[in-house]
Amino acid sequence: MTLQQGVFDGFAVLTLGSALLVVTQRQILHCALWLIATLGAIAGFYVLLGADFLAAAQVLLYIGGVMVIMLFVIMLSHVPLVPQESVKNAQWLPALLACGLTVIGFGWTIGRVSWYGQELPIATNRGEIFEPTTASLGQLLLTELALPFELVSLVLVAALVGAVFFTRRPES
């Protein structure tokens, strides 16, 4: 096993383990913290693939921004951190069936691909040096994709205003 495979396997175990803890924890605050660990491991995959801009965006936007907003909403919404009733509902059997079919589909797809002899495009394997993707993506975001980029920022501001509106107490 090479170092590259070991690092990939470590990120895979961290991603799957923390994602499993996101959906199995009873305390919503712990779920949010495990989601931060999951998103951080995904950022590690981006670093492993040489996608510097995506890794930085993952850390800054998702971990730094969205998760902070989620934690504020959790703390300001006055919802009990530990649910009083059981978190199971009547949909567990169809959800289990859908998960099983998804795992079977992934297994079938992975089994059909020849994985032998293929390596991740890491710069140290071929003696190449990756060029940073930040400049080309920045140029694209400020020219062709400027309008969608600004629309996304407006949606995020609207979500933040909505969160503040729904968490404020009535005036009485």
pTM of the model: 0.62
Q: What is the pLDDT of residue 20?
A: 92
Percent of the chain with pLDDT over 90: 24
Helix (H, G, I), strand (E, B) or coil at 171: coil
Domains (range + CATH), the chain: 3-79+119-167 (1.20.120.1200)
Give the C-alpha separation, 22 to 39, whole Å. 11
| Mean pLDDT on 23-35 | 85
Q: Residue 35 in contact with residue 23, Cβ under 8 Å?
A: no
pLDDT tens-digit profile of 65-112?
A: 877 887 777 777 776 666 666 656 778 788 889 989 999 999 998 888
pLDDT over 70 at 123, yes or no: no
Q: Residue 119 in contact with residue 125, Cβ under 8 Å?
A: yes
Instruction: Give the helix, strand, coil percentages of the chain, each rounded to 5.
Output: 70, 0, 30
Q: What is the pLDDT of residue 4?
A: 83
Q: What is the pLDDT of residue 156?
A: 86
Tokens of 51: 């996608």
pLDDT tens-digit profile of 7-21?
A: 999 999 999 999 999
Tokens of 57: 């965006």
